[in-house]
Structure formats: structure tokens, C-alpha cells
Amino acid sequence: MEVTRFGPVAGLAGGILALTSVIIYSLAPGQIWLVWLTFGLGVCGLALFLVSHLHRLKEFSARRTTRLGANSFLMVAMFVAILGIINFLAARHAKNWDLSETQSFTLAPQTHKVLRSLKQDVHVTVFAQDRSPGSNAYRDLLDSYRGVTNRVTVTFVDPERRPDEARKHGITRLNTAVLESGTETVRITTPSEAELTSALIRVTRDSKKRILFLEGHGEHSLNDRERTGYETVKEALTKQGYEVASLSLLQESAVPDNTSVLVIGGPQRGVTSDERERLKQFVAKGGRLLIMVDPEIKTGLDELLAQWGVTLGPGVLVDMQDRLALGDLTALLVRTFTEHEITQDLNSAVLMPSTRHLSFSEEAAKEWEFVPLARTSPRSWAETELDGKVISFNTGKDVQGPLPLAGALTPKKPPAEGQPRPAVVVVGNSTFASNAYVNFPGNTDFFLHVVGWLAQERDLVSITPKEPAFRPFVPNPNQERILLYVQVLLLPAATFFYGLSVWRRRRRL
């Protein structure tokens, strides 16, 4: 009798204690002893309630409605269990079908090969705002990668909500992905398959590729933190997994054989004939060279470039259309890029202050192929007189645009089997990669793309970018009138008369 009296109280207390144990576990999972204590007391209270109402349970279970209800509950439970098993099997043995027109969610065969050959784990941390287009693009792409291999793990971080994590990784722009494997770290800023697969190759590679910067002629210094220095570029390349150092051909008799890319960054004094010969031999052996020169500077490289058919144009480029707003007319905001592996993923303008143009002669270099990487707009020209006068196009002296300001050179004839293929990239500006300008989004991307292509990183995975199919419907005048009649007149009139007929039928009832 006493048990029956205190049964409801014990049941209520037991339910509250059981619920409390769940809350404690969610708030303080480390206090496991307290969780088990409250949960045990709750179970005891519920058991006491069941014992005190055992006779009522027997009467309730003997009813016909109870049996029917139990049968229905059992069928529902079995149905839910079957659905759970199906979902479990589907998750363990997932199969995706890409029904998009351009196969946007299908990975290239090169990417499948790279993912299947991964021998170590790679963790990807994506720094992007939640539910932003960049975050969604990374999520879709990385989901496809994780569907092929379980060695890739992903974490998404919103820099605005977790600024400490962003500062820890040195994040300075949104939509940046940091790939980590062991002690190696590589980062990308574009959610594209080519970029991500190339980064996977770099971060899991045993050896680092070496990037050397020529010095001894007033070039931008890798250790200079001032506006004209290249220290930021050095840090960016190091974060991409490259080994970066300086080289003086005045002290070395040749470019080291383990050099992946040699960079000549804005020489202010002339290169000697001996150095030109060493540069020529480096390229002839399959070397990769990046030359960045500024206007009105006698670099001593004219003779070397002429052997490859390239001539450095006179004057400074002026652009009335593609330029920095409220800035100098010579501060170009380059937006026009040609089709090339270097520029295929570029989606930001490149800021180039004080730039010179290039020209190429096929007759002078019949064995080399020249591809312009970037051009000025049609409203541009090469200004040859900037001595304090009002800038205007001078027919006969100035060169009318559009003009190429960067180009890539490769030999037309493929190299012998097993031999490296040389390549040269010439840019009519070196300041865009300095500390003062390299953090401009387009500048960072352009420089890293150039170095990546020269280092044959982007050649490893020559993946064609997939553009989403977007074909807006643009009606002609007849179609516009039809749409107007249907949407504005026909559909509202049909709705009105249908409602009127329903109202009349109901009124007759």
C-alpha cells in the first residue's frame, strides 16, 4: 500500500533525474560520475513506479486495443529499423550520379589517380563565411574528394566567428583553404579542382621544389620588409611548399641543377654577358625562367630576350579604361587575360603600377611559341614622354593598344623523351609582386600561378575548368507579349472565374 502511494512521486522524480542526466552530459561530459549517479537514481524511481502499478499494467496489456497498438508500434519500429539499415548501407557504399549538363560534380581522371595514390592523411581547413558561395563551392568539391578516399578530412572555419583560429594560420583573405600533412602546409585561394589537386600533390610530396631569385643587380630583396621588398612573396611561396633562396651568378658559374624556377625580379642594373650566357644555358637545358622588368630600365636582358623573339617595348603603359580608380593613369588594373593554364582560374584584376609592353617576332624565334597572358584595353597606349606634361596619345611616337604586358614562351618542338621542357615567362612589371602590392588579391594569384606553372605544378594536373551552364531565357517581342497576356491577364482571370464558380455552387447548397 505504501509503495502504491509513493509510486507516482517516484516515477515523476525518476523521469526528472533521467532527463537531468542527459542535460548534465551535454553540458559537462567530463562529469561522467554525476551523469551515472543521476541516471541510476532516475532508473530506480521509474522501476519503483512500474512495480507499484504492475496490476494496472497487466490489465492494460490484456486489452484488445493495447494489443492492436503494440502491433502497430512494432510494425512502425521495424519499418524505421529497415530505413536505418538502408541508410547505413547507402552511407558505407555511396554511389553518386552527376546529372549536371557540364558534369560539374565529376572529378577528372587525374584527380582520381592522385587521390587513390595518397599514402598519408591530409587535413583541409577552409576559412570562409558560413553558407557563402565560396564555402559552398569548397564543400561540394571536397565532398567529391572524400567520396574517393578517406585520407582527406575537412574542417570549415568562419574567420569572423573564430578570429583566433584565422590568426593562428595567418589568414588574410576569405575563401582560403589550408592543406596540412605531417609538417608540410600548402594553401590555396580558389575552390577549383586544378588548384586543390595540385596542392594535394605538393603537400604530400617528399621533396620540395626550389625557387631561386637572382641578386646582384638591384633586384627586389627577399629579406627586405619595406614596400619595395619581396619578403611577402617569399613567405607566400614558403607556405605553398617551396624552398626559396637567392642566387648570384656573379659568384656561381652556373645555375644549380636542382633549380625548379629562376626568378629575375626587377633588376636596376645591367646583367653581364657572362650571366646572360649562364641564363641561356640554363634555359637550353630545360630550365624555367621568370623575368620581371620595369619601364625605362636598361637591364642588359634585351639581347637574351631577342634570341627568344621577345622585345621590351619603350615607354610606360597608359590605360584610360582598365586603371585604378582615382589613381595615376599608369596604375593599370589588368582585367583582360588570354586562354592559358596560368590564367584559367584567375578571377581578380591584377594591379600593375608603371608597366611596359612586350612584342614578339616569329621570324626572330621560329622555334619558340609566344602566348600573351594579359593585355591592356583598346583605350590604352605606350606613353613615351612623361616629363610632367599632360598625358595624351601622340600619333607617331606612342604605340596604340591593346598591348601585351606579360607572355609565356615555350618551344614548339617537344623535347626528347625523358628531357625537361624549357619555359620562360616575361612580365613588364616587377613592382606588382613587392610588399606594397602583392597582397592585392589578383597580384597574389597571378604570381603564384606563374610560379606554379613554371615549376610544373599545374602541368601535373592539366584539368580543364568546368563552367556552370547558364543560359538565361531572353524573350523576343512576340514572346514578351504572350507572357504579358498569360501572366497579367489570363491567369488572374482564370483564378477569378474559378473562384466565382465555386462561390455560386456553395451558395446553391
Beta strands in 376-497, from DSSP E residues, in sequence order: 380-383, 399-400, 404-411, 423-427
225 & 306 share domain = yes
At 357, the pLDDT band (50, 70, 90 cuts) reads: very high
425 & 502 share domain = no
The residue-averaged pLDDT of 187-215 equals: 85
Which of 92, 119, 139 is the last residue before a domain boundary?
Answer: 92
Cell readout for 505 is 455552387
* Integer Cα distance of 490 and 138 in angstroms: 45
Which of 206, 237, 261 is the last residue before a domain boundary?
Answer: 206
At 1, the pLDDT band (50, 70, 90 cuts) reads: very low
266 & 364 share domain = yes
Per-residue pLDDT, 95: 63
Residues 196, 177 contacting (CB under 8 angstroms): yes
Q: Which domain holds residue 496?
A: 474-509
Backbone angles phi, psi at 220, to 5 degrees: -65, 130
Q: What percent of the chain has pLDDT over 70?
A: 88
Per-residue pLDDT, 476: 60
Per-residue pLDDT, 124: 93
pLDDT tens for each residue of 253-288? 899 988 999 999 999 999 999 999 999 999 999 999
Distances (CA, A) of 302 to 271, 272, 308: 10, 12, 10
Burial 182-220 (b: 16+ CB within 10 A, else e): eebbbbbbbbbbbbbbbbbbbbbeeeebbbbbbbbbebb
254 & 360 share domain = yes
In the chain, the number of structural domains is 4
CATH number at residue 138: 3.40.30.10
Which residues pair with residue 336 across a beta bridge? 375
Instruction: State yes or no: pLDDT of 81 exceeds 80.
Output: yes
Which of 206, 225, 240 is the last residue before a domain boundary?
Answer: 206
366 & 269 share domain = yes
439 & 501 share domain = no
360 & 246 share domain = yes
171 & 259 share domain = no
Per-residue pLDDT, 218: 93
What value does the mean pLDDT of the chain take?
84
Lowest mean pLDDT among 206-220, 271-285, 318-332: 318-332
506 & 361 share domain = no
Name the H helices within 190-272: 193-203, 231-239
pLDDT tens for each residue of 3-53? 556 667 777 787 788 888 888 877 777 778 888 888 888 888 778 877 776
Q: How many other CB atoms sit within 10 Å of the CB of residue 125?
A: 21
